[in-house]
Each structure stands twice: as C-alpha cells, then as structure tokens.
A and B are shown apart, each in its own frame.
Chain A
Amino acid sequence: MNLINRFMPSNGYRQLPKSVTVHAVLLAYTVIALFPILVVVINSFKERRAIFRDPLGLPTQDSFTLIGFEQVLQRSDFGLYSWNSLVVTIIAVGLVLLLGAMAAWALTEYKFKGNLFITFLFAMGIMIPIRLGTVSILGLMVNLNLVNTLTALVLVYIAQGLPLAVYILSEFVRTIPKELTEAARCDSVSEYKIFFCIILPLLKPAMATVAVFTMIPIWNDLWFPLILAPGESTRTITLGVQQFVGQYVTDWNSVLSALTMAIVPVLILYTIFSRQLIRGLTSGAVK
C-alpha cells in the first residue's frame, strides 16, 4: 500500500494543496525578510515625529522630508565612507574569488602531500568564526603597522571569506568533467592556461554564488572596521552610520537615511550577480 502511494503519479487534487502550502511558506518568508528593509526605507523619508507616531505608515504629504539625507550628506563624509566600503568589498571579494578558485582547483585536481591537511584547515576556517581571533588579529595588524588602513580590512575579509569560497568552488570544480582538462593537456595547453581559459569561465555561476555570500557580510560588517580601522579617513559605511547613534539621543532620520543609501550598492551588485547566482544554486542540484 505504501509503495502504491509512493509510486502512483500524483494527481491534481493532491498537488494543489501542496503547492498552496509551499507558496504560503515562501511568501511568509519573503515578507519576513523584506519587512525590516521596507521599514528602514519608508521611515527614512519621514519626519522624526512621524517615525515614532506611526512607524509602519507610508510617508504622507505632511510627514515627508529629506532632512535625514541632507544631514547625512552634510554632516558626515558619506561619499568617503561609501568609497571605503566599496573599495574594501570589491578588492576583498575579487581576491577571495581568484584565490578561492585557484585553491579549489589545486586541491581537487592535483594529488600532493598535505592536500588533505590544507583541505582540513579550510574546513576549520568555516567552522571557527574569525572574530574569535580578533585580539591576535589586532596585535598582528599593530605589528605590521596596518591599523587604520583599508589593507588591514581587506586582508581580514579575505581570510574570512576564503574557506567557504574554497569549499563551494571545490564542489563545482568536481563537476567539471576530467576529460576537458585532459583534452586541453593533449592540446599542449599549460596548467595556468587550463585554469584561466577553461576552468575559470566554467566556474562563473559558482563564483557569482560565492561573490554574493562573501560580499554581504563584508559590506555589513561593523566589527572589524570598528577595531582595525576606526580612523576618520578609513571608516566604512556601517561604521559611519554609527556616529548618528548617540548614547542619549539617536538621530533616527540620519541613521535610516544612511542605511537606505548603504543598501543601494549591495542591491546593484546583487542584481548583477543574481542571474548567475540562481544558475549556480540550481546547477548542482538539478544538472
């Protein structure tokens, strides 16, 4: 009986409730995920009093104001903060992708001594949060004279993003048929060219996935900018926003406006990657 249930082609009656449930769950999740962002964006266009009176209401003609955006652009060096964030994120993500792909390729394609050990180290990197090592990282940066530089942030973020990148990319490298590299070797293509001309283009969808996974925590990070680069000239956007959060009074207009503007670059980057990202997420599963 059980077998019959399992192998009978399911009919429309049984499919309908199933798909309704699935969509209900997904919709609920979407609402939960988007709600905070929506609240931030809505309230950034409202007067301070309107924010507290009706946090969920849309801006009306009376309550609409751009004061928060003006404050942010005038009172802080918002352009510099965004630039810092952008530089750190793009360089870190770029290097994570390149180094991650190279490491993934080397660890899966070549058999050498210590292969397993290095793989194991990367696995540890996924399991142990990098913030546990904050004190020694700070000590290291002080010794290297890198405190208050963007280089310090880039280095830390590469270390933070690399393990997961290597892990995800290794899985994808494994799905590339061995014959491709063998055919290339028969074509007398050097190992470097094989990597850059054949493997890297094929890893594109996977790299988009990794890019998104790596990019968002870096962009949103407050911890390391606060500790390693709190100086005025090296502040990132998340740190810059903090100056509007006071101990006694918080300038909510400015905070919310700054956050709204901080979302935009990530959204743009995400849109660029998303098409590839979806292909990357599904390609492993469906194939």
Chain B
Amino acid sequence: MASVKLNNIKKRFGNVDVLHGIDLDIKDGEFVVLIGESGCGKSTLLRLLSGLEDISEGDLYIDDERVNGRSPAKRGIAMVFQSYALYPHMNVFKNMAFGLKIAGKDKHHVTEKVIEAAKKLKIDHLLDRLPRELSGGQRQRVAIGRAIVRDPKVFLFDEPLSNLDASLRVQTRVELGKLHQELKSTVIYVTHDQVEAMTLGDKIVVMNKGRVEQVGAPLDLYHHPKTQFVAGFIGSPKMNFLPAKIHHADPENTQLVLESGRIIHASIDSSALQKGDAVQIGLRPEHMSLDCTDNRFEGTVTLLEHLGELSYLYVDMGQEGELVLKVDGDNHHQAGDHIQFGIKPTHLYLFDRDGKALNRVNAHLSPATPL
C-alpha cells in the first residue's frame, strides 16, 4: 500500500521528447487509469514508474521516498504485462513462486503464498500446467497472481485485457474491480479502452502527446471535460462535434449559429468570447432525443446499428454536418428516413478555437438522461 507522486517527470529518447513534464498525485489504495491514444506516452510513463526505463528528468516518489534510479524490485512494484510474459518453461506454480524463490524466501512461506493467491484467483487447479496449456483468461490470472504473491506496494497493469476476447474482457474487468476492492492496493492501469477506464478507475488520467490533458473522477471527465480531446475520448460512441459561430455571447444563455443559419441555445458561459467567434459544439449521442422539443435538428438517417437494447442512428444533416444518435432499441426507423430530434441547452458542450471547453452552467444538475 503506498502513495505515488510524480513531480515534473520527463522522458527523452535521444532527441525526441516523449513525456513533457508529468505531475500526478496518486493516493494510497487508489485505482488510477492512464488512458490515451496509442503513442501518447502512457505505456512509457508506466515503464518509468516500474523502473524498466530511466527517468530523464523530474522526481518520482513512492511512499514519500524518492525512487529515481532504483531497480524495479526495490521500488516495491509489480507489473502485469499485456502479453502476460509468463515464463514458458515453468508451470503455473513455478511462475508464481519464481520471484519469491529468487528473493530467498522460506519454501513453506512461498508455497503458502502461491496457493493463497491461486485460490483467490481461482486457478488453484491449474498449478501443474504449463502456460501454453492455458487459455488466454487463465494466463492473465496467472500473470496477476504472480504480481499478487509479492505483496507489492503498487500494481502496474499495462493493457492487461486487450489480448482477451470481448466477453472474457468484460468478465475479467469485473473481477479486477472486485480484486482491487479486496486488496485495497494502489493500482496504476494503462488502457486505451475508455469503458475499462470509466468502470475501473477511481481517477482517470487522460494523456495526449506526452502531456496530461485532464485528471479526474470518471463522471467528472464525462460531465466537465476541460478540452475537446477529453470530451471526444470519454464516452461511447464518441461525442459529436458541429462547427458553429457565436451568435450572442452571454454568461448563461449562449446563442450559437450553425453553418445553415440555424440558431442553437446552450446553457454555457461564453462571456469570454465575442459574436462571430468560431467554436465547436459538442453533442453526446445519448443526450439527443427524438422527443426533446429544445434545439430541434432534422436530417436523414444514413445508417442504423441495432445493438438490441438501443440503436445508433447516423444522421446526415447536409450543410450542418453529421451526427450519431443513441436511441431506444424499439424504434422503427429505416435508412433514408427523415427524422427530427432535439437536445436540451444544458446538455450541450462548447469548445473554443483552441479546443478549450467553456464553462457549462448547471451541468452538474443535469445527469445524463436515461434513454
């Protein structure tokens, strides 16, 4: 159990700056998810934390101790790799016991530890098997078990679920969440899957091009993204963006004009902007509704995706752009249908020319409406 503190951590590979000063505070027992597109530096950051890569600049503290330059083991971390990285020539028991044995722990103690962890992960019947005789999900558990037996201060997970098939991923995700509640340990978890991030994380760190874009609780990021990047990243399907101009700047009721000349009302503080400034309106697919009478839009359905409980409608609005709507699965629409829909002013997001989000008024009072 430990807190982790990153102080202006930078990483350079040759002349290429990969991380440009990361500051982060991770509390004891917190489940922190690092998320971002591939190449944003999230895996590199994890490797810096683990000690597998050297930190170019900045300080890393684990439990208020500066650990720069210390070997992975001395930092008290355990890492679970995307490819599991099980030793192929050792059976499950040996895989899990290897680290403890090397550390010179008493044999009885090692055996007890391994069996305890195996029971916790429900792999105690597999201890004699070799990794190649296991399924992907089982291998994943062994990899986690190998981390647990060492009682690390901090668990590092590098995209641990991305090699699993979809149903197993959901199942393992739930188990990981339960495991964290049981162990109450500090976890740093890298993923590119925003569902994993939203469901598992106490805190999400959105990274973009080697910088931290925003840190916050999952719902904070959902309701109050600081930038257009974060807004686009959190939520599925992605938030829709429509180009628009300020029609009337106001601290509470902003009026926007779309390319087609349609006027949109948004409960957003745009007092910093002026009439005519270019902005991007953000509309979440789940916030638009066919019954809503505010801010009416119209368009033609070009494609439907039925997921059963709900459907995605892809709507072409001509000049104004294209949108995705999340609607009830019981709808009777077809491709080619002309539909009308609306969105409440409190549900709109607004981003200025630099992608910075404008303050949403009363946004915290309007939780996402259930479908």
Genuine A/B complex: yes
Taking Cβ atoms with an 8 Å cutoff, the residues of A that contact B are 177, 179-180, 182-190, 193, 197-198, 201-202
Q: Provide the bound-state CA to CA distance between A47 and B371, in Å.
A: 99
B50 near A188 with CB under 8 A, answer no
Of B72, B103, B146, which is in contact with the most chain A CB atoms at under 10 Å from its CB?
A: B72
B52 near A185 with CB under 8 A, answer yes
Q: List 19 other contacts, CB 8 Å, given A180-B85, A185-B71, A186-B73.
A: A179-B81, A179-B82, A179-B83, A180-B87, A182-B79, A182-B81, A182-B85, A183-B79, A183-B81, A186-B77, A186-B78, A187-B98, A187-B99, A188-B73, A188-B99, A188-B102, A188-B103, A189-B98, A190-B102
A187/B85 contact (C-beta < 8 A), A182-B52, A182-B79, A193-B102 known: no
Set of chain A residues within 8 Å of B72, measured between Cβ atoms: 185-186, 188
Set of chain A residues within 8 Å of B82, measured between Cβ atoms: 179
Set of chain A residues within 8 Å of B88, measured between Cβ atoms: 202
Set of chain B residues within 8 Å of A180, measured between Cβ atoms: 85, 87
Taking Cβ atoms with an 8 Å cutoff, the residues of B that contact A are 50-52, 71-74, 77-79, 81-85, 87-89, 98-99, 102-103, 146, 150
Q: Provide the bound-state CA to CA distance between A210 and B71, in Å.
A: 35
Q: Provide the bound-state CA to CA distance between A185 and B74, in Å.
A: 10
Set of chain B residues within 8 Å of A197, measured between Cβ atoms: 98
Set of chain A residues within 8 Å of B84, measured between Cβ atoms: 179
Q: Provide the bound-state CA to CA distance between A225 and B113, in Å.
A: 57
A198 near B87 with CB under 8 A, answer yes
Set of chain B residues within 8 Å of A193, measured between Cβ atoms: 102
Interface class of chain A by DSSP: helix
Q: Provide the bound-state CA to CA distance between A189 and B74, in Å.
A: 11
The 30 listed contacts between A and B (C-beta, < 8 Å) are A177-B83, A180-B87, A182-B50, A182-B52, A182-B79, A182-B81, A182-B85, A183-B87, A184-B87, A184-B98, A185-B71, A185-B72, A186-B50, A186-B72, A186-B73, A186-B99, A187-B73, A187-B98, A187-B146, A188-B71, A188-B72, A188-B73, A188-B99, A188-B102, A189-B98, A189-B99, A190-B102, A197-B98, A201-B89, A202-B89
Of B50, B51, B81, B82, which is in contact with the most chain A CB atoms at under 10 Å from its CB?
A: B81
Set of chain A residues within 8 Å of B78, measured between Cβ atoms: 186
Residue of B nearest to A178 (CB): B85
Sort A-B residue pairs by CB-CB distance and give the 4 closest, nearest first: A188-B73, A187-B99, A179-B85, A183-B85
Q: Provide the bound-state CA to CA distance between A177 and B74, in Å.
A: 23
B89 near A186 with CB under 8 A, answer no
Set of chain A residues within 8 Å of B79, measured between Cβ atoms: 182-183, 186
Shortest distance from the beta carbon of B343 to any chain A beta carbon, whole Å: 46
Set of chain B residues within 8 Å of A182, measured between Cβ atoms: 50, 52, 79, 81, 85
Residue of A nearest to B100 (CB): A187
Shortest distance from the beta carbon of A226 to any chain B beta carbon, whole Å: 43
Q: Provide the bound-state CA to CA distance between A198 and B95, in Å.
A: 11
Set of chain B residues within 8 Å of A189, measured between Cβ atoms: 98-99, 102
Q: Provide the bound-state CA to CA distance between A118 and B165, in Å.
A: 44
Q: Provide the bound-state CA to CA distance between A193 and B99, in Å.
A: 11
Q: Provide the bound-state CA to CA distance between A198 and B82, in Å.
A: 19
Shortest distance from the beta carbon of A91 to any chain B beta carbon, whole Å: 26
Set of chain A residues within 8 Å of B51, measured between Cβ atoms: 185
Shortest distance from the beta carbon of B184 to any chain A beta carbon, whole Å: 21
Q: Provide the bound-state CA to CA distance between A144 and B263, in Å.
A: 97
Set of chain A residues within 8 Å of B146, measured between Cβ atoms: 183, 187
Q: Provide the bound-state CA to CA distance between A189 and B102, in Å.
A: 6
Of B52, B77, B82, B146, which is in contact with the most chain A CB atoms at under 10 Å from its CB?
A: B52
Q: Provide the bound-state CA to CA distance between A187 and B51, in Å.
A: 12
Set of chain A residues within 8 Å of B103, measured between Cβ atoms: 188
Q: Provide the bound-state CA to CA distance between A179 and B79, in Å.
A: 10
Shortest distance from the beta carbon of A251 to any chain B beta carbon, whole Å: 51
